[in-house]
Amino acid sequence: MAAITTGLGSRLVSTDTQAKAFQELPVISLARLASTDPKERKALAAEAAINSGFFYISDHGVPQSVIDGIFEQAKEFFALPAEKKMQMDMHNSPAFKGYQPLKGENVDPANRGDVHEAWDMGDDSQVMREGKKNGNQWPSKTDLPEFQPKLQRAWDEIMALGKRLFPLFALALDLPEDYFADKLKSPGSTMRILHYPPQFGPMDSKEIGIGAHSDYECFTLLLQHGDVQALQVLNGAGEWVEAPPKPGTFVLNIGDQLQLLSNSIFKSTIHRAINRSGVERMSSPFFFGLDYDAVLEVLPSCVTEERPALYEPIKAGEYVEKRLAETYV
Ligand SMILES: O=C(O)CCC(=O)C(=O)O
Ligand SMILES: [Fe+2]
């Protein structure tokens, strides 16, 4: 066992990189999300809350052609020469948008760099903190003419899905469905495309696809390309459960912001990825956070005398920036 540092304290995890699955994550259909019967929506929220942490969602409404568009473009993007990708170096952007090469990121401070490359985008109108505009860095239209329109279309679709999911979390916390609406005017979100080369031979547990970590926003909607197993999720017993790709689904996981707001009723689940498949792997997470200027504060309904507030208030943008700065230094 090792202690993993998260923005909300430390957690114990197994260090065995060969850990096997022993439990499946559930698939939850979002069909009832559109129900006009509030009881149906509440039942769906309860199901999601019971499995809070990590599950697949189906019937999410994002067209498959849009999802295919992300990975078709991601494949071309990662095949660009290294110098072209480095022209979009994330360090040029005040808010961590752009390209990051292999080992340019290290989410687990105990590790030596993550074995993936990535390109991150946000919404150009978002300001992480005064003077810190997102600064998206797109590949040139000559190299990849379809990249920006396809990724932007995917952003819009997944953003719309994310906004539809907030009422569920509100319901699960016994709040009015529109509770978060005024904190979602321009949600502080990031979408990434990730490429994990396969890792062969004996493994160094400190150099894996992405080290053990929790995500920084409210929740993450993750797409996994093809049928390559790599993602692993930490269960309550401190053991790793595999989360293989399932066609037609996103993986949904709770992040730090919901853990903070709910005073740890929702847990920001630790996960990692290790690509031992022998072939390339791509994925695309969308991190869905509250407006950067919204204050993250433990909800009064989640505080009792026996369970005092565990966290100090902090602005969403400040929290995300702090965590990203630790990751990319
Ligand atoms: O690629 C994956 O499956 C997970 C990526 C991830 O956890 C992240 O980018 O935060
Ligand atoms: Fe993650």
Question: What pLDDT is stored for residue 17 in this prediction?
Answer: 47
pLDDT at 260: 95
Helix (H), strand (E) at residue 48: helix 38-50
pLDDT above 90 for 16 = no
* Cβ neighbours of 247 (radius 10 Å): 10
pTM, two decimals, is 0.92
Q: What distance in Å separates the CA atoms of residue 236 and residue 215, rounded to the nearest whole number?
A: 17
Q: What pLDDT was estimated at residue 10?
A: 63
The encoded tokens of residue 254 equal 């709770």
**Rounded Cα distance, 204 and 255, in Å:** 27
Region label for 71, one of left (φ > 0), alpha (ψ between -120 and 50) or beta (otherwise) = alpha
Q: How sure is the predictor about 9, in pLDDT bands with cuts at 50, 70 and 90?
A: low
pLDDT at 19 over 90: no
Q: 252 Cβ partners below 8 Å, 6+ apart? A: 48, 54, 55, 56, 57, 165, 219, 220, 221, 222
Q: Is 316 in the pocket of ligand 1 (CB under 6 A)?
A: no
Average per-residue pLDDT for the chain: 90
Contact of 295 with 315, CB cutoff 8 Å: yes
Under the banding of pLDDT at 50, 70 and 90, the label for residue 22 is: very low
271 lines ligand 1 (CB under 6 A): yes
Lowest mean pLDDT among 57-61, 248-252, 325-329: 325-329
Q: Is the pLDDT of residue 28 over 60?
A: yes
Specify the pLDDT at position 18.
44
User: Is residue 5 very low, low, confident or very high in pLDDT (cuts 50, 70, 90)?
Assistant: low
Q: Supply the pLDDT for residue 262.
A: 92
Beta carbon of 210 within 6 Å of any ligand 1 atom = yes
| pLDDT of 1 strictly over 70 | no
Model pLDDT for residues 189-241, shown as the tens digit of each residue:
999 999 999 999 888 889 999 999 999 999 999 999 999 999 999 887 788 88
Give the CA distances from residue 4 to residues 30, 108, 233, 293, 319, in Å, rounded to whole numbers and listed in that order. Answer: 32, 7, 13, 28, 18
CB 251 within 8 A of CB 224: yes
Would you state the pLDDT for residue 74?
98
Number of helices and strands (H, E) in the chain?
Answer: 6, 18
**What distance lies between CA 222 and its chain's CA centroid?**
6
Tell me how far the alpha carbon of residue 269 lies from the centroid of ligand 2, in angstroms.
9
Cα(45)–Cα(48) distance, rounded to whole angstroms? 5
- Pocket probe for ligand 1: among 223, 234, 283, 326, the residue whose CB has the most ligand atoms within 8 Å is 283
For the stretch 121-180, pLDDT in tens is 999 888 887 777 778 999 999 999 999 999 999 999 999 999 999 999 999 888 999 999
CA 274-275-276 angle, 5° bins:
110
Phi-psi region of 59 (alpha: psi -120 to 50; beta: other; left: phi over 0): left
Query: Distance from CA of residue 308 to its chain's centroid?
Result: 28
> What 3-state DSSP class applies to 142?
coil
Q: Which of 154, 292, 313 is nearest to 217 (CA)?
A: 292
2-327 under CATH 2.60.120.330, yes or no: yes
Protein residue whose Cα sits closest to atom 10 of ligand 1: 215
* Per-residue pLDDT, 136: 93
